[in-house]
Structure 1
């Protein structure tokens, strides 16, 4: 019989830890939180000392009964929930239920689920950290006060099922304000002049820089004509050649938000999916002979700190794999941002020696892709800087100056393993120039002026929105994924081409919130509140005082909203066709993945239809139907015949109306690194990438 009971949050974690601790320990799972505020009522009394009313979560009775029985049979109970404020709160609730003294050394925390980390953690149990618990309570109660007070007003005045929240309301505000910027944006004309130049048979590109050594902007076609009128002949003098060596340092290992951003950019993962897979990697996966092993450190963190042990192992691995020149000369210490809670390490592999290739047959495709991203980012962070040779060449003809920039990788350093992604289009890393000398003459082969118009700011992708929220100090690592999920589920925003657009409903709710609850949407107020809650965690601020101060002003706002908020009627847009089931009109509605058609006789009739978008291409398979855009269950766009199921033609790539000039087969548009490539599905015919 076991002497000790260890309670963790999940069965997967329990299985891994029990194997490391041995027969004296029995490890059981609480299955997450066991107590919470009641769903049927507010559960707190603001202005009266708060006193939250906690009840056992529905369905957790059998779990608690099992834990109580097991606790009676052992000498001591250890509470080993996750090493963050949610985990601390779970441990505190369990201590209350199991009559464990919270000041006794009953709490065990570890940043990674490995044998050494677990055994070391159990050598140093501590008491429950009430500052962490109170920080969690404060956040939970503030969210309850906002949600349970504003939501019923929105239900009465707008529509049932709506909600409001501290972080979600600000996220919606950012999306709506960005959309307003786009709508109000007035494009401005500007021009560029690019030239193709020849140096002893080697052609390179340069762009117009200025006149007489001064940089000049080209705003109109007249400006371009004035510049080109000055050029005499096609010979340009090389007036300056500058060569420099530039260092490029690797980025730090992942935090929660940077992991979500990079997984969105490189793997096309939603934030929710990233966190789900990261949880699996952290809790442990079956590696065959090795058993169940935790592959990464804890995935909810905003610290870039790493342990000396992990650093040493990584540096030894880099030396053996790539050579000593590839190891960073100095041990890097990352700057901590003002918002970062340095509670535990960055997200990294539990062992650098466990390479992604060694796990190929043991992990699912998505698990391996995310693990590879984490592994490569961490290893690269411990590698030497890349060294770039850069070259700037200035050409001149009658005072008209063109400039060419080039660079090449002299020493790849960390870039041999990993290069960070970017939301914006970037130039190729290597753009080589011929060996040009000052005083030489080059010949222009082509001068190409082009008209451009300034572009509005881009809509938010998930990655860009997470980055913006983090920069503004709004929300914390654990809140980003559920926030993005909630604003879509409520129908406040939708995704269009992986970018957020506000819905009519989202705009209406936002305007009401701005009128009646401006503090909730105020970026500075929300960021300051987050900072105050962090101070509770650090033990320098009283959590009850924060809630009381917030509620004093909030309560007045609630009374005004109850009396003065006008009822809003949202009329559905007619779709112009009748329901084939009941004959009522079909209307357009906005769902999680955009617009769809639904019967206006809902809930009596629940008929819905996707909005069909024809692309003007006849079906190449049956030749009777037309190709239309469709969406898979995972919201991925594909193309199929409108006579389905009679014709089962489908394609992930967009079919084109014209035929292949080589074999008369079907041409499709395929995504390429630099845009769209046209290629034949029957032969090897391809067309150049269209920029």
Structure 2
């Protein structure tokens, strides 16, 4: 007799978990959802609009899988059935689907939550099994029905009006953000401003002197010709007038949540959202480490919006930091801790961090693909940095005079490396970093003892400092996180859908540019459903879904209220 039958979502982590548990447990994988809403009734919603009860059908390719499970259970004796699908509301719904597909009361099944694939985590979960959280199941159902109502109803009308393919609750808001950013860029271009600069070369470093007024404010010219007139009055020699020094502190970023990981992987490594999502899932589920001759889950669950790190890992990280850099590099009360989100009842959600510190990136590099290694190294270093002291920087402002016109340049000299010691090439790639034996990082000043500078060129430049920049995948995810739109499990969908629908395209820098079709779709949606397709309302819906997951609202009340308001606008537009 087997001790238990464990159902996972992904087959990839089966091998890792099986190595911890041995042959006493049998492990099956669902491969995602087993059921889907039927496409029937009004607008093919698959929902009875009188009582709002959904109608489901088994996904075609999952029928044989369910039959296999039933056949296995009819022949084998199992002491307990454990549902260990992913620890989020989608995973909770899949757990419920699994139990009901087997004809088992979900209450009689035991729910396991794995936030990391380690022996400790698996043992703790088996020692403290839970029941299926019906609040999370209702929250997932609410999101599923809500998205179908908005998507199917609006898409049907759009296909008739504009021959466009689809609209969606979050997808259409993302399109709106991309178009609004494009409009800001166009407005900025119409109001071009100019600055006057002196370009110098000092100790093989390029120095740019920018013209300011007597108070230090940057001078902006509305007309290029006005700046050119001042340029004619300048010589190539700039005399040092004074220098001002300020002490600054640079704080480390908070531990990685999904949106921050996607952003950092895009900006540091050039990885797409889909690529990062797939790599992180692989690192979480388990990678074969040749030196250990076993499969090991290297990071915690990669879909999270919590910055928490468990005490056991934190303590070992502090010991690691002390050993490698010194006691003064440890920060036991980092600023991000004050901003930690309140955890729900199931409370074990953590940030994305390594499961083991002793698996250092360089030591297991040969067991990873190049992309896996790069992402793992980013997560490893970022986690250590988040638990380290701030860096101490001296900011020096040098002021020069040229024919009584003021010019300034600034440089930053690091007095104490703090968290920058982990990966200085990431945070300050343009600085020449020298690590001294006493573990103080110093960046040598570019202009020691200089009383004047000779420019090799004086030029008028377009002012670019406040120019809005198009979204790439990473910055778009960061904006969605800031606005409270979408959730960690869905961040990798929206950009790809817009590209697939032809509503946007990517330029050579990987930035989103709206297409004429995308602009037409957004114009129509804003003309007819502006109260629905906007950031504030979409964020409010996400908040309501969170309330359902916490038991503060329920599916029926939420969906009924939404449909009553939405159907009124729908009927008006349909006419």
Sort the TM-score into its range (normalised by shorter chain).
0.7 to 0.9
| Aligned residues of 2:236 and 2:457 also touching (Cα < 8 A) | no
1:97 to 101, 113, 119: 101
Distance change >3 Å, CA 241–CA 28, structure 1 → 2:
same
Provide the C-alpha distance between the structure 1 equivalents of 2:218 and 2:7, rounded to a whole number of angstroms: 68
Q: Secondary structure at the match of 1:91?
A: helix
Q: Within 5 A, what are the aligned runs for 1:408-487?
A: 408-418=413-423, 432-436=445-449, 441-442=451-452, 444=454, 448-453=458-463, 456-487=467-498
Tell me if 1:168 matches 2:171. Answer: yes
| Aligned residues of 2:38 and 2:46 also touching (Cα < 8 A) | no
Provide the C-alpha distance between the structure 1 equivalents of 2:294 and 2:238, rounded to a whole number of angstroms: 71
Distance change >3 Å, CA 443–CA 271, structure 1 → 2:
closer
Q: Please give the root-mean-square deviation of Cα atoms over the aligned residues, in Å.
A: 3.1
1:275 to 262, 270, 277: 277
Q: Within 5 A, what are the aligned runs for 1:158-557?
A: 158-159=162-163, 162-184=165-187, 185-194=189-198, 196=200, 205=207, 207-213=209-215, 215=217, 217-219=219-221, 220=223, 224=227, 236=239, 238=241, 240-288=242-290, 289-328=292-331, 330=333, 333-336=336-339, 344-396=349-401, 399-418=404-423, 432-436=445-449, 441-442=451-452, 444=454, 448-453=458-463, 456-497=467-508, 498-557=510-569
Distance change >3 Å, CA 48–CA 357, structure 1 → 2:
same
Provide the C-alpha distance between the structure 2 equivalents of 1:525 and 1:420, rounded to a whole number of angstroms: 41
| Aligned residues of 1:46 and 1:548 also touching (Cα < 8 A) | no
Structure 1 match to 2:78: 74
Distance change >3 Å, CA 174–CA 32, structure 1 → 2:
same
Deviation string 1:545-598 (CA, Å, 9 cap, x unpaired) is 1211111121122223333xxxxxxxxxxxxxxxxxxxxxxxxxxxxxxxxxxx
Larger relative contact order (CA 8 Å, sep ≥ 6):
2
Structure 1 match to 2:437: none
Distance change >3 Å, CA 443–CA 95, structure 1 → 2:
closer
**Further displaced range: 146-155 or 316-325:** 316-325
Where does the alignment leave 5 or more consecutive residues of structure 2 unmatched?
A: 433-442
**Offset at 1:421?**
6.5
Deviation string 1:509-567 (CA, Å, 9 cap, x unpaired) is 2222223322331221111111111111111122221211111121122223333xxxx
Provide the C-alpha distance between the structure 1 equivalents of 2:208 and 2:449, rounded to a whole number of angstroms: 13
Residues paired across the two proteins, number: 554
Distance change >3 Å, CA 467–CA 398, structure 1 → 2:
same
**Further displaced range: 205-214 or 222-231:** 222-231
Provide the C-alpha distance between the structure 2 equivalents of 1:420 and 1:536, rounded to a whole number of angstroms: 44
Distance change >3 Å, CA 40–CA 275, structure 1 → 2:
farther
Q: Secondary structure at the match of 2:107?
A: coil
Where does the alignment leave 5 or more consecutive residues of structure 1 unmatched?
A: 564-691
Which structure carries more strand by proportion? Answer: 1
Distance change >3 Å, CA 237–CA 60, structure 1 → 2:
closer
**Offset at 1:104?**
4.4
Distance change >3 Å, CA 402–CA 513, structure 1 → 2:
closer
**Offset at 1:203?**
9.5
Provide the C-alpha distance between the structure 1 equivalents of 2:71 and 2:236, rounded to a whole number of angstroms: 94
Provide the C-alpha distance between the structure 2 equivalents of 1:222 and 1:16, rounded to a whole number of angstroms: 68
Structure 2 match to 1:108: 112
Tell me if 1:17 matches 2:21. Answer: no
Q: Secondary structure at the match of 2:506?
A: strand
Structure 2 match to 1:86: 90
Provide the C-alpha distance between the structure 2 equivalents of 1:555 and 1:48, rounded to a whole number of angstroms: 13
Structure 2 match to 1:629: none
| Aligned residues of 2:38 and 2:55 also touching (Cα < 8 A) | yes
Tell me if 1:120 matches 2:131. Answer: no
Structure 1 match to 2:438: none
TM-score normalised by length of structure 2: 0.88
Deviation string 1:459-510 (CA, Å, 9 cap, x unpaired) is 2111121111211111111111111111111111111111111122222222
Provide the C-alpha distance between the structure 2 equivalents of 1:149 and 1:135, rounded to a whole number of angstroms: 21
Provide the C-alpha distance between the structure 2 equivalents of 1:421 and 1:514, rounded to a whole number of angstroms: 41
| Aligned residues of 1:104 and 1:126 also touching (Cα < 8 A) | no
**Offset at 1:398?**
7.0
Distance change >3 Å, CA 390–CA 63, structure 1 → 2:
same
**Offset at 1:457?**
2.2
**Offset at 1:272?**
1.2
**Offset at 1:405?**
1.6
Distance change >3 Å, CA 128–CA 381, structure 1 → 2:
same
TM-score normalised by length of structure 1: 0.74
Structure 2 match to 1:4: 4
